[in-house]
Amino acid sequence: MDTKIHILPEELCNKIAAGEVVERPSSVVKELLENSLDAGATDILIELEAGGKRLIKLTDNGCGMNRQDAFLSFERHATSKIRSDSDLFALTTLGFRGEALASIASVSRVQLNTCDNDDGLGQQIYAEGGKIKNTAEAGLPRGTMIEVRNLFFNMPARKKFLRREQTELGHAADVVTKQALANPAVSFRLKHNDRMMLELRREKGLQERVAALLGRSLLQDLLSVDLQGDDDLCLTGLISQPQLTRSAASHIYTFINGRYIRDRVVQHAVMDGYRHLLMKGRYPVVVIFLKIDPAQVDVNVHPTKHEVRFREQALVHDFIAHGLQQTLRPAQWIEKGEEDSDVGKVNVTSAQAFSTDTGHRPLAAVREAPVEYSLPEESKQQEASHGLPIDQYEIAACNDSLPAEIKLQDSQYVLPGSEQRGFFSGLQLLGQYHQSYILCQDSADLILIDQHAAHERVGFEKLRHAYAAGTIPSQTLLFPEVLELDFNSATALGENQDELASLGFDIEPFGGKSFALKAIPQLLGNKDAVKLVVDVALELERIGRAGQLRESIDEILILMACHSVIRANQSLAPVEIKALFQELDQIDFKANCPHGRPILQRMTLSEIERLFRRH
């Protein structure tokens, strides 16, 4: 009888399996690196051509394979690493599925040279699309060399999904970075089109490796973690102090039993460890290694082994979160954060100060008022460095003499300069709430303005205009600052010099992954410039991968605006508010604000009366 169902040929099975394991050149690099590390290699050379699309070549000094093993290694479900299902929960190796080489071979042309002895008796195997075409014996050093050419040569549909060379190289460098962090004692070299891109010698420990990979200057802001928990749990690594942050989570590296994992539970635990310490949208730099009884974790939930399942999810989460909290505890602001976490607590300091009836005290009181709300040290510094430039705002920041044009009227300041006011300038200022919101009255309505959002919007408009008009004016730094970046950010900066120049930065390569920052956009206070450039580099990298720098320029301008302006939690003098309002009046609010955050909320009198049941 005819059947509708048939068993697929082996070759097709391998191609299907390859679909899961091999997405792009970096996935091949990952699998080959895992094999070399499992083979005990201490020296690994990775050579790529055309971002790995043309060639991926790995040479290691690991244990190598004998003739039979070399043949078997191309078979699907062929592995030396496990024998029975119980081994799945006692894994000590990175690989175990026995399908990587078979999958890779099925979608490329592979040359394997391997030797498991010091007598030079080596094996060579050449395969195309998974079929062995050629074998030979040859004199070889101990270790293994694998060349993977023309990835997806027999899967044109897949090949179309590959991105440009630099993007693929970036992904591959990411993979190398992760393995290099996990294995400081192994030397890694990455070559691209014959150029040495990364050269990492064997190191004694994680610190040196982090310095070589992410920049030595980072070390001073990293704390080391070394915690032993119950149940065989152990956490080690380096984490950033709250003042060192990134605009993306891409510098959070988490490893479980030596394996890089991007796990939701672990990520959440890390951010939980930093609760109250970071501003929204900021992420720490974290390289942590969790050791856990292999029986407590299932790594066989995803073909690329990037995700795991914990038996005791909550236990692991809390161990990591508390571990980080404990390590960060000496940072004095953490206690404040806990005290002040009551939601809805009203800080009336500023509003009260405004309503005092002497001319001089109130402003001084506002300025000296303790920071009521806990903020990471970083943002406090930012505030300090981003106060409004005095020259820009008349007498803005001087608090010892209250400007004469500000008149006290029924506990309210009335803004001066009534001639042809715009909407904002026409508002009646009531005060400042929680050092973050400006309270105003518009006829009978109460208006709340988010001061940070408002400043950001003003800064963004200025930058957008300047950018559209040609270039953003820049200011030369008296002392150029040297930045050390990781591989991908450095590549992104290197590739986007022109774009950065039109954004007002002058950045010159300074050897390796370092750059000299010589000029920055005028709008910025220079204190924060290095941090901004690192953020811009991250953003460029993200956007660059998507290949849409031009369209995404707004994102970068927002980032810059965000760095250039006043934060929340800063008391503002009435003149400063007035100046802000004048600038807001210049903005065409019909234009789309890419941030999408409102800067103003209105409450009508009847809404307020309803709150008090007056109706």
Among 31, 174, 263, 528, binds ligand ADP (CB under 6 A): 31
Q: Which of 195, 225, 192 minimizes the C-alpha distance to 210?
A: 225
Q: Binding of ligand ADP at residue 39 (CB under 6 A)?
A: yes
Structure tokens at 113: 């040279």
36 contributes a contact to ligand ADP by CB under 6 A: yes
Residue 61 interacts with ligand ADP (CB under 6 A)?
A: no
Pick out residues in 100-129 that bind Mg ion (CB under 5 A): 100
Q: Could you say which of 52, 95, 170, 376 contacts Mg ion (CB under 5 A)?
A: 95
Residue in 521, 601, 511 with CA at minimum distance from that of residue 556: 521
Residue 81 interacts with ligand ADP (CB under 6 A)?
A: yes
Count of residues that bind ligand ADP according to CB under 6 A: 23
Q: Which stretch binds ligand ADP (CB under 6 A): 92-100, 249-257, 528-536, 597-605?
A: 92-100
Q: Token digits for 206?
A: 């994680």
350 contact, one of ligand ADP, Mg ion, none, CB 5-8 Å limit per kind: none
35 binds Mg ion per the rule CB under 5 A:
yes
Nearest distance in Å: CB 11, ligand ADP: 16
- Distance in Å, CB of 178 to ligand ADP, minimum: 17
Q: Does 95 bind ligand ADP (CB under 6 A)?
A: yes
388: left (phi over 0), alpha (psi -120 to 50) or beta: beta
3-class secondary structure, 498: helix
DSSP string computed for 142-210: SEEEEEEESTTTT-HHHHTT---HHHHHHHHHHHHHHHHHH-TTSEEEEEETTEEEEEE---SSHHHHH
Q: Is 524 in the site for ligand ADP (CB under 6 A)?
A: no
489 binds Mg ion (CB under 5 A): no
Residue 531 interacting entry, from Mg ion, ligand ADP, none, C-beta within 5 to 8 Å by type: none
| Coil vs helix vs strand at 123 | strand
Q: How many residues bind Mg ion (CB under 5 A)?
A: 4
Q: Is 59 in the site for ligand ADP (CB under 6 A)?
A: no
Interface pick for ligand ADP out of 14, 73, 187, 327 (rule CB under 6 A) = 73
Least distance from C-beta 337 to ligand ADP, angstroms?
45
Q: Report the sign of the C-alpha dihedral through residues 485, 285, 249, 458, in that order.
A: negative
Listed in order, strand segments (DSSP E) in 459-570 are 474-484, 506-509, 514-521
Pick 27 or 488: Cβ nearer Mg ion: 27
Give pairs for 508-513: CB < 8 Å, separation 24+: 510/482, 513/215, 513/484, 513/485, 513/486, 513/487
Determine if 303 is a binding residue for ligand ADP (CB under 6 A): no
Count of other CB atoms within 10 angstroms of residue 406: 18
Residue 125 and residue 134 in contact, taking contact as beta carbons nearer than 8 Å = yes
Number of H helices, E strands in the chain: 20, 26
- Per CB under 6 A, the segment of 58-66, 169-177, 351-359, 596-604 that binds ligand ADP is 58-66
Stretch near ligand ADP under the rule CB under 6 A, chosen from 100-108, 203-211, 271-279, 524-532? 100-108
Q: Does 148 interact with ligand ADP (rule: CB under 6 A)? A: no
Near ligand ADP by CB under 6 A, which window of 43-51, 61-69, 383-391, 603-611? 61-69
What pairing do the DSSP bridges indicate for beta strands 252-256 and 286-291?
parallel
Q: 195-207 in b/e burial notation, b at 16+ Cβ within 10 A?
A: eebbebeebeebb
Site for ligand ADP contains 64 (CB under 6 A): yes
> Of the candidates 144, 245, 399, 451, which one interacts with ligand ADP according to CB under 6 A?
144
Look at residue 125 and give its three-state secondary structure.
strand
| Contact call for residue 347 and ligand ADP (CB under 6 A) | no
Which residue's Cβ lies closest to ligand ADP? 95
Q: How far apart are CA 115 and CA 443, in angstroms?
A: 86
Under the binding rule (CB under 6 A), the answer on residue 300 touching ligand ADP is no
CB of 168 to ligand ADP, least distance (A): 21
Query: What are the tokens at 318?
Result: 């809390």
In angstroms, the CA 409 to CA 413 distance is: 6
Neighbours of 505 (CB within 10 A): 25
Should residue 188 be labelled a site residue for ligand ADP when binding is judged by CB under 6 A? no
Phi and psi at 174, nearest 5°, equal -55, -45
Instruction: Please report, as ranges, the residues that interact with ligand ADP according to CB under 6 A.
Output: 31, 35-36, 39, 60, 62-65, 73, 78-81, 95-102, 144
Question: Could you list the residues that contact Mg ion (CB under 5 A)?
Answer: 34-35, 95, 100
